[in-house]
C-alpha cells in the first residue's frame, strides 16, 4: 500500500520567515495530494491540494509543489504569522474504483515565534 | 453552510464495552469517511461509505464497523473495546463529484477507554 513520509516533525521559524515541509510517497499511481492544518482541539482543515497533472499551485501565502518523477511534494508558507502555528499533515490518494482513501504523513508541528 | 458534525465530542468507556459514534456530513455530501487519530499511529483510514454502501475499508479488525443512512448520516461502532482503541475518531465528508474529491473533516470524537 501507499506510504507517505513527512519531514521535519517539528519546525520553528521566526514571524515573517518562510516555512517548508516536505513529503515523499511510494505509490506511483497516487494522483491527489492535499495538505491539512490541524489546530488544537479541532479536526484537520484542508488548506491546499494539488493533482498530479499540475506541478505547482499557489493560494496567497501558501504554495505546494509536486515532483512526480521523484515522488515528492512540498508545502511552502511565506511571511509566516503566529496564527500559522499548528500541526500540518500531507496526504496522498490514488484512484480506488470510485472511492476516497487518504494516506497521511506523520505531521509537522510548526511553531511561529514572535 | 454547516460543516461536518460529530457527536458526542467526548466519550469515556471501559474495556469490553461497545460504543457508537455519529457523524452528519455537510449538506449535499454523499460520501462519509472515518479516520482514527492517535499520537503513535497518526491518522489512519477506517472506512468510507457512499450511498449507504461501504466502498473502501482500511486495515482494522472486524470490531470496527459502520453504516450510512439514506440521509447520508453515518455511524461508526466499535465493539469489545480495548485500551488501544483510545483515540480521536474523525469523520470526513465529500461531495464525490469526481475521484479523489476534497475531504472536509469534523472536530472528532475523543474516545477514552479505561
**B27-66 pLDDT, tens digit each:** 999 999 999 999 988 999 999 999 899 988 899 999 999 9
Return the bridge partners of B35, or none. B45, B90
**For all residues of chain A together, what is the average pLDDT?**
94
DSSP letters along chain B, please? ----EEE-SEEEE-TT--EEEEEEPPTT--EEEEEEEETTTEEEEEEEEETTEEEEE-S--TTEEEEE-TTS-EEEEE-S--GGG-EEEEEEEE--SSTT---EE---EEEEE-
Q: Do B43 and A89 touch (CB under 8 A)?
A: yes
What is the nearest CA distance from B17 to chain A, expressed in angstroms?
25
| Nearest CA distance, A10 vs chain B (angstrom) | 14
Q: Say how far apart CA A88 and CA A19 lie, in whole Å.
A: 11
Distance separating alpha carbons of residues A78 and B46, to the nearest angstrom? 34
Contact B43 A97 (CB under 8 A): no
In A, which residues are within 8 Å of B48 by CB distance?
99-101
Specify the pLDDT at position A98.
62
pLDDT digits (tens, 9 = 90+) for A50-100: 988 889 999 999 999 999 999 999 999 999 999 999 999 999 998 776 667
Distance CA A32, CA B46 (A): 19
A100–B103: do the CB atoms touch at under 8 Å? yes
Over the range B69-94, which residues count as b (16 or more CB within 10 Å of their CB) and which as e? Answer: eeebebbbebeebeeebebbbbbbbb
Which residues of B are less than 8 Å from A102 in CB distance?
33, 35, 43, 45, 103
Residues of chain B in contact with residue A104, where contact means CB-CB under 8 angstroms, are 42-44
Chain A partners of B87 at a C-beta cutoff of 8 Å?
Answer: none
Q: What is the mean pLDDT of residues B62-79?
A: 97
Amino acid at each position: 500500500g501507499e506510504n507517505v513520509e513527512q519531514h521535519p516533525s517539528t519546525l520553528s521559524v521566526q514571524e515573517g520567515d518562510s516555512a517548508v515541509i516536505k513529503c515523499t510517497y511510494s505509490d506511483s499511481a497516487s494522483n491527489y495530494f492535499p495538505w491539512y492544518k490541524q489546530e488544537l482541539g479541532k479536526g484537520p482543515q484542508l488548506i491546499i491540494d494539488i493533482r498530479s497533472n499540475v506541478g505547482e499551485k499557489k493560494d496567497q501565502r501558501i504554495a505546494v509543489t509536486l515532483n512526480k518523477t521523484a515522488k515528492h511534494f512540498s508545502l511552502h508558507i511565506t511571511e509566516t504569522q503566529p496564527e500559522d502555528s499548528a500541526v500540518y499533515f500531507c496526504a496522498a490518494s490514488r484512484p480506488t474504483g470510485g472511492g476516497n482513501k487518504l494516506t497521511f504523513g506523520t505531521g509537522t508541528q510548526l511553531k511561529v515565534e514572535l | 453552510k454547516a460543516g461536518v458534525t460529530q457527536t458526542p465530542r467526548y466519550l469515556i468507556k471501559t474495556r469490553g464495552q461497545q460504543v457508537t459514534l455519529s457523524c452528519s456530513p455537510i449538506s449535499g455530501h454523499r460520501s462519509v469517511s472515518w479516520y482514527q487519530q492517535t499520537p503513535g499511529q497518526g491518522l489512519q483510514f477506517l472506512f468510507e461509505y457512499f450511498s449507504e454502501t461501504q466502498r473502501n475499508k482500511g486495515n482494522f479488525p472486524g470490531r470496527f464497523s459502520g453504516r450510512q443512512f439514506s440521509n447520508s448520516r453515518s455511524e461508526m461502532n466499535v465493539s469489545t473495546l480495548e485500551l488501544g482503541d483510545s483515540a480521536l475518531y474523525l469523520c470526513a465528508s465529500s461531495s464525490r463529484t469526481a475521484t479523489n474529491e476534497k475531504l472536509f473533516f469534523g472536530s472528532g470524537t475523543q474516545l477514552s477507554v479505561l
